[in-house]
Amino acid sequence: MPDLQAEAVRLLTQLIRHRTVNPPGAERALQEELASELAAAGFEVSLVGRTPERPNLVARLRGAADGPVLGLLSHVDTVAAEPADWRHDPWCGDVIDGELWGRGALDMKSQTAAEVAAALDLARSGWRPARGDLVLIAVVDEEVGGADGAVWITEQHPDLVRCDWLINEGAGAVMISGRERFYGVCVAEKGVHRFRITAHGVAAHASNPHLGDNALVRLAPLVERLGAARPQLDPTPAPLRLLAALGLDPSDPAAALAELRERDAALADLVEPALGVTFAPTVIRASEAINVIPARASVDVDCRTPPGMGDATVLARVAQALGPPEQAGYDVEIIERIEGNGSPVDSPLMDAIARWVAEADPGARAVPVVLPAFTDSHTFRAAFPACVAYGFFPMRHTTLEAMWPLIHAADERIDVRDLAFAAHAYRGIIVDLLGS
C-alpha cells in the first residue's frame, strides 16, 4: 500500500498557508500551484472562473476506453479566522502532536489534499483508468453560496465537470454505537425554507408604555417556543436506513430516536436533525428607536427541511409549534427557499465505498446519512440529475462528535492519520470504479 500520509500532509500544509478567506477568496495562487503539479503528472488541467482572481480548477485523467466519469470535488475557500482566539496561527499549517493545524484543516482543504494526493500517486505510477475518466474539481466560493464556483462552472462549462459519480464533503467521520463503528456517506442534503414570524401591536412613546401594545413583548413567547420546538418528524429513506443500521426500529422513528438518546445522547443530537424540519430563530427586528414602543416585531428563523419537502411541511410544523396564526396572533412569511435534494442510496459508488470501508476497518460499515446543511453536491445534483453525488471524507481516529465542534471554529485541526486514511480511501475507490 503506498505511503500517502507525507504527500497529503505536504499538500494540506501548502493549501492552508494560502489565506483564501472568503470574501475575498483570492484563490488564484493556490489553484495555480495545484494545477502545475497535476499537469506535470499527466492530467489535462483547466483553470476557469468568472473573474481572473478566482479560477476553478478541473483536472482530467482520461481512460483507455469510454466509461463512467468519477469526479472528486472540493472547495478551496474558507471562512474567516480570528488569530487571538486560536492556540496556534490559523494559517501555520504546522503538525503539532500529530495534528495539522489551520483554517481549512477540516472544512475542507483536507479533502482537497487527500483527493489530490491519491490522484497524483496513481498518475505518477503510470496508472490510467481502464475505462472512463477521473476528474478532480477544486472550486472557489462555496462558503458564500458558490456563485463564482460550483454554480458558475456547472452553468458556464457543464461539459467540463459533468460526471456520473461524485465524491464531495458532508460525512465520513466514524460514528461509534456500542461496539459497532459506522462511517456515514452523505446521500442527501436538507433544504432551506427560512421564514419570518411577525407579531403586531400598537406604537406609543416609551415613557408611558401602557398606552401602547408592545409587539416585541408579544413576539417573545413565540421566539421561545420556536427555539424549544422539536417538530414532528418527517423522515426520508436515508435516515431510516441509518436507524436500522444502528439496530433501531425505523417503523417508529420517534421511538427509535428516544431509544438512541438513552443509549448515546451525543449521537442522537447529530442524528435527529436529519429526521425532520428544524427551527433556529436568529434575527429579531422591532423598534428602530429606543424611545418608541414597536407596533411590529419580527424574528427570522433559519429553517432546514428534509429533501423534497417545502412550504406546506414548514407551515404545518410552525402551526404545531405556535398554534394557528389567526389564533396565536402572528403572520408567517417564507423569505428564502432552496429545496433539499439527494442521490439514490444504492449505486455502484456506494458499493465501492462499502467495500473499501469493510477492508480498511474490518467489522465497520458504511451507512447513508443526510446532512443538515448543504454543500456543492446540491448544485451538481441539480445541474446533472443523473449524477450520483455523495459526501465522504472518512476519519477513523476522530469521531463525528469530536469533529463537528471544530468546523468554522477556533483551533481547527486534523489528525494526520485521518488525512492519510482519506487519501487511501480515494485511491482505493478510484481503482475499484475505474479499473486498474
Query: Annotated catalytic, 142?
Result: yes
Q: In CATH, what number does 191-234+276-338 get?
A: 3.30.70.360
Query: Annotated catalytic, 33?
Result: no
Which residues lie below 8 Å from residue 75, measured CB to CB, with a gap of 6+?
A: 108, 112, 138, 139, 140, 141, 142, 143, 146, 149, 150, 169, 376
- C-alpha cell of 428? 482505493
- Catalytically annotated residue among 7, 27, 107, 142: 142
**Which superfamily does CATH assign the domain made up of 5-177+341-434 to?**
Zn peptidases (3.40.630.10)
Helices 28-40, 109-124: axis angle to 10 degrees equals 20
Q: Considering only CA atoms, which of 307, 56, 309 is closest in space to residue 186?
A: 307
Cis omega before residue 108 (within 30°)?
Answer: yes
Q: Considering only CA atoms, which of 319, 280, 297 is closest in space to residue 220?
A: 297
Number of H helices, E strands in the chain: 15, 20
Task: Determine contact, residues 73/137, Cβ cutoff 8 Å.
Answer: yes
Helices 237-245, 253-263: axis angle to 10 degrees equals 40
Q: Which residues make beta-bridge pairs with 157?
A: none
Q: Left, alpha or beta for 285 (phi > 0: left; psi -120 to 50: alpha)?
A: beta
Helices 109-124, 416-434: axis angle to 10 degrees equals 50
Q: Considering only CA atoms, which of 93, 61, 91, 55 is closest in space to residue 76?
A: 55
**Placement of cell 401602547 in the chain:** 212
- Catalytically annotated residue among 77, 99, 148, 189: 77
Helices 311-322, 215-228: axis angle to 10 degrees equals 110
- Give the containing element (helix H, strand E) for 380: helix 376-383
Domain ranges for the chain, please list them: 5-177+341-434, 191-234+276-338
pLDDT tens sequence for the chain (436 residues): 458 999 999 999 999 999 999 999 999 999 999 999 999 999 999 999 999 999 999 999 999 999 999 999 999 999 999 999 999 999 999 999 999 999 999 999 999 999 999 999 999 999 999 999 999 999 999 999 999 999 999 999 999 999 999 999 999 999 999 899 999 999 999 999 999 999 999 999 999 999 999 999 999 999 999 999 999 999 999 999 999 999 999 999 999 999 999 999 999 999 999 999 999 999 999 999 999 999 999 999 999 999 999 999 999 999 999 999 999 999 999 999 999 999 999 999 999 999 999 999 999 999 999 999 889 999 999 999 999 999 999 999 999 999 999 999 999 999 999 999 999 999 999 999 999 8
Q: How far is CA 59 from the centre of its chain?
A: 23
Angle at 120 between CA 117 and CA 126, to 5 degrees: 145
What span, in angstroms and rounded, lies between the C-alpha atoms of 149 and 348?
27
pTM, rounded to two decimals: 0.93
- Give the containing element (helix H, strand E) for 75: strand 69-75
Which residues lie below 8 Å from residue 193, measured CB to CB, with a gap of 6+?
A: 303, 304, 305, 310, 311, 314, 334, 336, 337, 338
Query: Beta strand 388-391 with 44-48: parallel, antiparallel or unpaired?
Result: unpaired
Q: How many CA atoms lie within 13 A of 243 on its CB side?
A: 26
Q: What is the DSSP letter of 231?
A: P
